[in-house]
Amino acid sequence: MGAAMCVRLETKSWVWCVVALICTSAVYFGGAAATAVDWTKVVVAEVNGDSGGDETKNEDTQRPDFEEQEPVEEPENSQSPAPEEKPAQLIDPRPNVPTNDPGVGGRKVIALTFDDGPSPATTPRLLDILRGREAKATFFVLGTMAQRSPDILRREVAEGHEIASHTPYHNQLTKLSFAQVRAEAVEMDRIFTEILGMRPPFTRPPYGSQNATVGQALGQPMVLWSIDPRDWADRNANVVCTRVVNAAKDGAIILVHDIHASTVDAVPCIIDSLRARGYEFLTVSELAKVRGVTMVNGGVYYNF
């Protein structure tokens, strides 16, 4: 049916229509049950101008300052990075670990990470849950959200969680110039220093979209993820919990969003189920430390 829609259009529009249909189909068929992410493939896709494994693209109405949207490729945009753009260095100290891996020395570790907050509607309840279960997490906060809820940020730190940058405005960094990315990093340094008296230790680029130039402009390590239950697409706590638990493996980084009530609802199940399987919840920095990894500026970490 979709192809028939294209036939009526003139030649140039017809080509773009077919491209759009193929992309739409790929998103639809590829997105049914995402779990583990193969960053080696995603990074290659980024370099080739494909938006790759996107993180959040929803119509959330709780975040008035930015519209989550799929980073659509714009071939005629002269601001796009040059095609010779180099990929950043992917660092995985334990590649290809199976889900039944017993862990290093019998110790299984995993990091729960929350993006796009803090939200006064959902994050305090999440913090109550984490405190009640004595589980530590890492929050990749947005500058705009942090400025609106500085007390939640301070509470996250006071309760032992790690706070890092998800940039001020959720822009796709590979679409920005070096100077623009640098300005965003400086802006986050300012926001963090104002609220927490420290600079962010690392950044999670929105949509996981990064390359060597972005890493250089940020001047920080970049932290991605290895498990994506697509909690923004399926607002169902049982679905999110099941996807995380099924994909869990030693050293993994789990990506979810603390701005969704359904995700907060999934957290007790995630923590209890994974602890029953022997997992310890660590912050990203703790995960790096137990693996003996010193994170370097511009490096990309998605698994430890």
Task: Give the residue numbers annotated as catalytic, written as ranges.
Answer: 115, 257
Do residues 80 and 175 touch, judged by C-beta distance below 8 A? Answer: yes
Rounded distance, CA 155 to CA 125, Å? 12
Q: Interface residues for Zn ion in 82-121 (CB under 5 A)?
A: 115-116
Contact region for Zn ion (CB under 5 A) — 45-53, 206-214, 216-224, 293-301? 206-214
- Give helix then strand counts, H and E, for the chain: 11, 8
Q: How far is the CB of 116 from Zn ion (least distance, A)?
A: 4
Q: How far is the CB of 181 from Zn ion (least distance, A)?
A: 16
Rounded distance, CA 4 to CA 24, Å? 15
Exposed e or buried b for every residue in 277-295, given b needs 16+ CB within 10 A?
eebbbbbbbbbbebbebeb
Q: Which residue has the tokens 């049950």?
A: 33
* Per CB under 5 A, 258 contacts Zn ion: no
Q: How far is the CB of 206 from Zn ion (least distance, A)?
A: 5
DSSP state of 86: P
Q: How far is the CB of 140 from Zn ion (least distance, A)?
A: 7
Considering beta carbons, is residue 162 or 250 the nearer one to Zn ion? 162
Contact region for Zn ion (CB under 5 A) — 50-58, 149-157, 229-237, 247-255? 50-58
Contact region for Zn ion (CB under 5 A) — 11-19, 198-206, 237-245, 279-287? 198-206
* Per CB under 5 A, 56 contacts Zn ion: yes
Considering beta carbons, is residue 243 or 249 the nearer one to Zn ion? 243
Distances (CA, A) of 236 to 210, 229, 273: 29, 11, 17
* Per CB under 5 A, 60 contacts Zn ion: no
DSSP state of 143: H
State the residues that interact with Zn ion by CB under 5 A.
Answer: 56, 115-116, 206
